Amino acid sequence: MSICIFSHGRCLQYDVGHDHPESASRLHAVQDQLLSSGLAYVLEQRDGNAASRDDLYLAHDRAYVDSLFELVPEHGHIWLDDDTQLNAKLLRAALYSAGCGISAIDYLMQGADRKAFCLVRPPGHHAERAAAKGFCLFNNIAIAAAYALERYKVQRILIVDFDVHHGNGTEDIFQHEARVRFFSSFQHPYYPYTDPISRSGSIIKMPLDAGTSGALYRQRWLDEWLPLMHQFQPELVLVSAGFDAHIEDEMGQMKLTDQDYFWLGQQLAQLAARHSQGRLLSMLEGGYEHSPLARSVVQYLKGQL
């Protein structure tokens, strides 16, 4: 069994504002914690490749993708929505962020009992088929899943999203795709103010009240989700790994702890071992307080060992 970290220097080379929570220091904090914990000496680390436009078209509307390349300014930035800006360095970073997921899929499919974690920015799970949203240009996890469907003909893909915010973009892209099951837990009501009711058999939602504890979260996972996950028998397990439901993260009002993320790593690794030959891919989404983010990522990975 091995875990490989996929990232790229381009993911560090854009800035969306001095006070913006989505900063390069998030990735630096995780790398520092991997080193100080000793985990960096156990894991493999690789650079991912940039996604091509054809890769992006697998999950996104062609006109939307092309418009980003046409709109991107040589200098400065433009706003795509109230939260999401576009500049030249950010677009390049987004290509590598999505491309790391594709590189990770290739890595997983070349052997059994492999796991990967994509330490990337910008995040992706709010990006819809034809719209940027919530810091996200391209939906990294959806592109990885669509690539696995197309390139490797995988027939059952499970996507789990435990970010404090609902993965509205992933729902939008896969709501009519029978080969994908999307499980999303999220604080409700909260951004992006999604409908808490599942309207598709491919989408399973777990809306959670502000203040939800790790104990309650675990119990609902075991009671409501795990039986359905086993019933689906996924051939590949993908995760939108957002750590902003941590009690120390001011982005949300949930009360998960480092040990809850260790538990999530264990649960997902066991699920992958049972159904998908151990193949498990996680991609960083949220998590904006540096210390709890870094600690939680390390615990999540330790839970998979």
- To the nearest 10 degrees (0 to 180), the angle between helices 290-304 and 258-275 is 30
Residue 170: both structure tokens together: 């992933």
Residue 121: both structure tokens together: 């920015």
Residues forming beta bridges with residue 4, ordered by sequence position: 44, 116
Tens of pLDDT, residues 135-180: 999 999 999 999 999 999 999 999 999 999 999 999 999 999 999 9
Tens of pLDDT, residues 278-295: 999 999 999 999 999 999
Residue tagged active-site, from 126, 166, 246, 275: 126
Residue 287: both structure tokens together: 């998590």
Tens of pLDDT, residues 25-38: 999 999 999 999 99
Active site residue 75: no
Q: Is 3 left (phi over 0), alpha (psi -120 to 50) or beta?
A: beta
Rounded to 5°, angle at Cα 226 from 252 and 127: 45
Tens of pLDDT, residues 197-234: 998 999 999 999 999 999 999 999 999 999 999 999 99
